[in-house]
Structure 1
Amino acid sequence: MILDSGRWFWLATGSIAVALLYVLAPILTPFLAAAFLAYLGDPLVDRLESWKLSRTLSVVVVFVTIFLLLLLFFLFLVPVLETQTKLFINKVPNYLDWVVNVLGPYLNQKFGVDTSVLEIEQIKNVIATHWKETGGFIRNAIQTISKSGFVVLGWVANLALIPIITFYLLRDWDRMVAYIDDLLPRAIEPLMAKLARESDEVLGAFLRGQLLVMLALAVIYSIGLSLVGLEFALLIGLIAGVVSFVPYLGLIVGVAIAGIAILFQTQDVFDLFWVFAVFGVAQMIEGTILTPLLVGERIGLHPVTVIFAVLAGGQLFGFFGVLLALPVAAVLAVIMRHIHDTYKQSDIYSIDNPEPLGEIDLDDGSNEVKEQA
């Protein structure tokens, strides 16, 4: 087998690739971000091509759509989120006072809980001195990158490179895939092509399917909570939608935060019913429409795998590692599934193994006991 005879070649190639990724991580970030956007947009380009549009025109349409959406996000959604975050942080001391003055006597009388151990005043002082500064996302980002002229130039260069690289990757995506396939040794090409297709299905099921479900849920939560009259509907809806890639976590986190917020805002227990109704309707829409339509029966990355991959990538390579985490996790998941299937079909696992070690040990032991008897 080529893989057996050339194992040192593949080991050296993999080691060099990992070393280069580690060393070049700072400059590879815009390339990986552009590849991420191109990967998301390539199916749309192929769909437009099937409608008799040229590849270049299809790329232009998808490219403009992607970056218009990103521009709208940063121009409108980020300032609104920043405003809601500031308002929420400013109201946290009032929420703490409500806990002490309203819930405190009830908890003390019914459960013997002494709210003085929470040191509410110290918590309020910490919020007043530190947390208010965290609300200015845009201001803090500008202050951070403006400390050095080289940092500013680096950020500007990266932001300018991402759309340029994305456009060229979208235009040449199919040709690059065909070129890489042509470079593979013919003996392993069928296996590598199979693993690549399965990796694409796993990663696509999460990125193109689950991310759309998360976005749709965030919109539904935000609209529903705003209709209920919750002040921080957009912020809470976005948080619940983002964490919904873990089954039921978005529901639990959203209901908890929205329920507490509505109690603080209206101090009416019956308003909790409307919060439950919003999340109940959203879960019904997700189960009957969103997941079957956008994800279907495809098997994506397990939520725990996603969490571990993102944290591990960030720890090892920083922001570049966060971007690299999901593709690597998808490939590793497919490889581990292939290894599992190969093991289940091997003689080591098979019941037809001519020398089952467990039976040999048991027989030898029983024979010795009989001879001693």
Structure 2
Amino acid sequence: MTLQKQVGFWIGGLLVLVLTLYVLRGMLLPFVAGLALAYFLNPLVTHLGRVGLPRVIGTMLVIGTFIVIFILLTILIIPLLGNQLTAFVARLPGYVVQLQALATDRNREWLQAVFGERLPDVSRSVSELVTQSIGWIGGFLQGLWSGGAAFISLFSLFVVTPVVAFYLLRDWPRLMNKIDSWLPLRQRETILELMREIDVALAAFVRGQASVCLALMIFYSVALTGAGLNFGLLIGLSTGALSFVPYVGSLTGMILAVGVAIVQFWPNWTMVFIVLGIFVIGQFFEAYVLYPNLVGESVGLHPVWLLFALFAFAALFGFVGLLLAVPMAAAIGVLTRFAIRKYLASPLYTGVPRAEVAASTRD
């Protein structure tokens, strides 16, 4: 088979895969979620196998523990978060108006010097802007949900996902060996090397960053709640969860927390600086302790590229796209770096034919 036919075959296969994912995106959520869960938990099951526990028993133990923890979190935390989220969304326009009033009242003299005696009434426009933003965010989330779970119920998601994860975890080594046996013989070593690079990048980011997010969720929620901040649990957990994209979570959480603190504790600036100090400590803890030890610097996923991938795949595939964004971004990054290495070693870049390069190497 010529190179052109090989390239055409793989491009055609990729297009068929993308088209299949797009057509079936409404029913793929529990299966993609099960695959992601199996990939995340596979090292733990493998470790249990190394200490002598049969893989089936280890899989049952790990999946059972995950289900118990998930049920406990659903019963204990989800209702509380739901109440806080509802109250926070209802009070957010008022918070923004109060912040705007504090800013204009204390700086009325220089604002009048700039705008004249009649200051622009921005409180109404700001409130309307926040209300519209909340409506847009709600519509965006609703679109994600409808795009990802239009043909399945919430009950089926909770039932199918652990079942899929169990069977994938149980048969993981056999599945990987079977996939390896399907690879083209001449390119097998190159493909396996690329797959190892993708796995290293993906494992380092997904498992490492998930551990970082969990630690930050615990730290921020406990610290902000202990400081007496309104909606401290909601803001803390959201900050840690959004930290999956580096810098996005901490910046978003800090803006929300400091804004709520100013409205809540005004004019007590001490409490505002305490809230700000919590985020300074959290950033130091994340940058110098958690990230170097749990994620590392060789992941190869730039925050801007990751953010773009999340939005792009969410727009294409809904909620399923959010689950596919990180592995696809890691795979595309590895393949792009491989293509660049090939280009830099090719005559297209060097301007020297391969035969001349080989001859000079022998000389």
Q: Could you tell me how far apart the structure 2 residues matched to 1:320 and 1:259 are?
A: 33
Q: TM-score, normalised by structure 1?
A: 0.81
The CA distance in 1 between the partners of 2:319 and 2:290, in whole Å, is: 30
In the superposition, relative to structure 1, how do residues 220 and 122 fare at CA in structure 2: closer, same or farther (>3 Å)?
A: closer
Q: Separation in 1 of the partners of 2:105 and 2:180?
A: 70
The 1:95–1:341 alpha-carbon spacing in structure 2 relative to 1, beyond 3 Å, is same
Q: Within 2, Cα distance between the matches of 1:331 and 1:11? A: 15
For residue 260 of structure 2, what is the aligned residue in structure 1?
261
Distance 1:100 1:55, change over 3 A: closer
- In terms of mean alpha carbon deviation, does 62-71 or 104-113 score higher? 104-113
Residue 266 of structure 1, CA deviation = 1.4
With 103-112 and 259-268 compared, the bigger mean Cα shift is at: 103-112
Q: Which runs of 5+ in 1 are unaligned?
A: 355-373
Q: 2:26 touches 2:151 (CA, 8 Å); kept in 1?
A: no
Q: TM-score, normalised by structure 2?
A: 0.83
Q: Kindly indicate whether residue 49 of structure 2 is the aligned counterpart of residue 45 of structure 1.
A: no
SS of the residue 1:178 aligns to:
helix
- Distance in 2 (CA, whole Å) between partners of 1:294 and 1:115 is 51
Q: 1:124, CA displacement in angstroms?
A: 7.2
Q: Which residue of 1 aligns with 2:293?
A: 293
Residues 117 and 166 of structure 1, relative CA distance in 2, 3 Å threshold? same
Deviation of 1:33 after TM superposition, in Å, equals: 1.1
Q: Could you tell me the percent identity over the aligned residues?
A: 34
Q: Report the equivalent of 2:196.
A: 197
Q: Is the 8 A contact 2:262 2:272 kept in 1?
A: yes
The match for 2:20 is 20
Computed over aligned residues only, the root mean square deviation of the Cα atoms, in angstroms, reads 3.1
Does the 8 Å CA contact 1:104/1:115 hold for their aligned counterparts?
no
Shift of 1:351: 7.1
State the structure with more CA Rg. Answer: 1
Work out whether 1:312 is the aligned partner of 2:312.
yes
Residue 59 of structure 1 aligns with an amino acid whose one-letter code is: T
In the alignment, what sits opposite 1:118? Answer: 122
Aligned counterpart, 1:235: 234
Q: Structure 1 residue 273: deviation in Å?
A: 2.0
The C-alpha deviation readout for 1:129-170, integer Å capped at 9, x for no partner, is x97xx7xx9xx99xx99xxxx978644334322111111001
| 2:302 match | 302
Deviation at 1:280, TM superposition (A): 2.0
Partner of 2:7: 7
**Residue of structure 1 equivalent to 2:357:** none
Q: Does 1:327 align with 2:327?
A: yes
> Who is 1:66 aligned against?
66
Determine which structure has greater relative contact order: mean sequence separation of CA pairs < 8 Å that are 6+ residues apart, divided by chain length: 2
Task: Name the stretch that deviates more: 36-45 or 65-74.
Answer: 65-74
Unaligned stretches of 5+ in structure 2? 355-363
- Within 5 Å, give how 1:1-373 maps onto structure 2: 3-92=3-92, 94-96=94-96, 98-99=98-99, 102-112=102-112, 116-120=120-124, 123=127, 154-267=153-266, 268-350=268-350
